[in-house]
A and B are shown apart, each in its own frame.
Chain A
Amino acid sequence: EVQLVESGGGLLQPGGSLGLSCATSGFTFSRYSMNWVRQAPGKGLEWVSYISTSSTTIYYADSVKGRCTISRDDAKNLLYLQLNSLRDEDTAVYYCARVFYGSASHFDYWGQGALVIVSA
């Protein structure tokens, strides 16, 4: 069974840093591209970042570019997201999501999400 489990959320201060992990199981992690998607309270979905297999290609949304680092550890089946210089508008549930096939496809599996609240 494919499973994605995010961790690392919580209450954080503006200007601080966020570190999220996504533990995966039930599939060969190294063969899949991955994404982070976030959802502000009561709002829609916002794609945040993409990482290809072997970390050869990485993309970021403009809203986090320059503040964000996505990475992966294929040996540990883990996906990471680091977000610095946190703003109130970074408050959201952060989901990790697997790309169905290749680099450009839909997201076929999602984690349950990690809530991040940025507030003084």
Chain B
Amino acid sequence: EIVMTQSPGTLSVSPGERATLSCRASQSVRNNIAWYQQKPGQAPRPLIYGASTRATDIPARFSGSGSGTEFTLTISSLQSEDFAVYYCQHYNNWPLTFGGGTKVEI
């Protein structure tokens, strides 16, 4: 099973600042990784897939990069609605696994 490790666990930032979230896979997942945003009481929302492709209706301030085992989600200028928990997920093989999440807080 591929272990996805996210860091940091919590990221404290101010509105308008840049946020950089990391995700590391225990073995190569090529570019088969997605990022999701989850707010309290809501289902996860897809942000990025294929490591760097924005999902439908996702603003350009969200970007993804990386391949192999190291991945990054960048939020270029945090808006109030971006404070949430972010998860990475690989879909390179079975079982699919998620990272433990990064909470982005004010």
Contact = CB atoms under 8 A, between A and B. Distances in A.
Given A107-B89, A108-B46, 17 more contacts: A44-B87, A44-B98, A45-B87, A45-B101, A46-B98, A47-B96, A59-B95, A100-B49, A104-B93, A105-B49, A105-B91, A106-B55, A107-B34, A110-B43, A111-B43, A112-B43, A113-B43
Interface in B9-30: none
A42 B33 CA distance: 23
5 contacts: A45-B89, A47-B96, A61-B95, A104-B92, A106-B49
Contacts of B87: 44-45
Interface residues of B, number: 26
Contacts of A113: 43
A95 interface: yes
B91 to A, nearest CB: 5
Interface of A: 35, 44-47, 50, 59, 61-62, 95, 100, 104-108, 110-113
Nearest to A46: B98
B58 to A, nearest CB: 11
Nearest to A112: B43
Given A44-B101, A45-B44, A47-B96, A108 B55 contact: yes
Given A105-B49, A106-B34, A106-B49, A47 B43 contact: no
B7 to A, nearest CB: 14
